[in-house]
């Protein structure tokens, strides 16, 4: 992967950060994008540890203009993106079973980040790959997008839509030598999933034999 430019969206922590580290260990040039502050410091740490060029950008996937700007900055700093991984995601933060435990308004942010965030990112970075007639995109939906998880219906529905969008994008980009794939993790112990466990736990009663305190 030496000299390959890789962009990881959602790289501050969890699965996205692990993927970014793996690419850096393979000597790729890595751009780490996330909505949280401190991305420059995180990138500098990765450069120190792996000895590869890195770039850290605070970028919000729900803001298309911000993603266009990020693509331009990556191009000017590391070179045109050849491999894109979109691992950004969020849940409703509530226990969604049955679905009417949630309000329709609880869906908005989840759809903005998990679905439209992927769409915004793909739109921003696809032109460089099309021009070069090579590249890869990897989206991280979830097994929840395959089976209809009742734990968080907005999250599940958004992830299902990501799988469908990836199928559309794969067909559109194949003639240009660009591959689009999805990887659907199961339950992984991350900050994102902790909110799901805690929301479920808060909904239980002390008399419930299945009640487990999350520490």
Tens-place pLDDT, residues 184-210? 877 666 666 666 666 667 777 665 544
In a domain, 44, yes or no: yes
In a domain, 46, yes or no: yes
In a domain, 88, yes or no: yes
155 in catalytic set: yes
In a domain, 193, yes or no: no
Residue 132 pairs in a beta bridge with: none
In a domain, 215, yes or no: no
Residues in the chain: 215
Tens of pLDDT, residues 137-191: 999 998 877 888 888 899 999 999 999 999 999 999 999 999 999 998 776 666 6
Task: Name the domain count of the chain.
Answer: 1
Q: What sign has the CA pseudo-torsion 78, 174, 22, 59? A: positive
The answer on pLDDT for 97 being more than 90 is no
In a domain, 197, yes or no: no
CATH number, domain with residue 122: 3.40.50.720
Q: How far apart are CA 52 and CA 61, in angstroms?
A: 25
Q: How far is CA 203 from the centre of its chain?
A: 28
Domain span holding position 143: 5-188
Task: Select which of 155, 157, 165, 196 is catalytic.
Answer: 155
pTM above threshold 0.75 = yes
In a domain, 207, yes or no: no
In a domain, 162, yes or no: yes
């Amino acid at each position: 992967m030496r000299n390959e430019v890789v962009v990881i969206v959602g790289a501050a922590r969890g699965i996205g950060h692990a993927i970014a580290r793996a690419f850096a260990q393979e000597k790729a040039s890595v751009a780490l994008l996330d909505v949280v502050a401190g991305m420059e410091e995180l990138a500098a740490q990765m450069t120190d540890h792996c000895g590869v060029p890195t770039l850290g950008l605070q970028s919000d996937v729900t803001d298309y203009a911000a993603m266009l700007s990020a693509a331009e900055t990556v191009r000017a700093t590391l070179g045109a993106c050849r491999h894109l991984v979109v691992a950004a995601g969020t849940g409703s933060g509530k226990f969604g079973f049955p679905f009417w435990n949630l309000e329709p308004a609880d869906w908005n942010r989840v759809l903005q980040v998990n679905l439209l965030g992927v769409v915004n990112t793909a739109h921003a970075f696809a032109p460089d790959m099309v021009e070069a007639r090579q590249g890869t995109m990897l989206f991280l939906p979830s097994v929840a997008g395959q089976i209809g998880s009742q734990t968080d219906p907005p999250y599940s529905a958004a992830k299902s839509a990501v799988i469908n969008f990836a199928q559309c994008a794969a067909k559109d980009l194949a003639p240009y030598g660009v591959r689009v794939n999805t990887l659907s993790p199961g339950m992984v112990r991350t900050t994102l999933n902790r909110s799901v466990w805690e929301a479920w736990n808060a909904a239980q009663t002390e008399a419930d034999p299945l009640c487990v305190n999350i520490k």
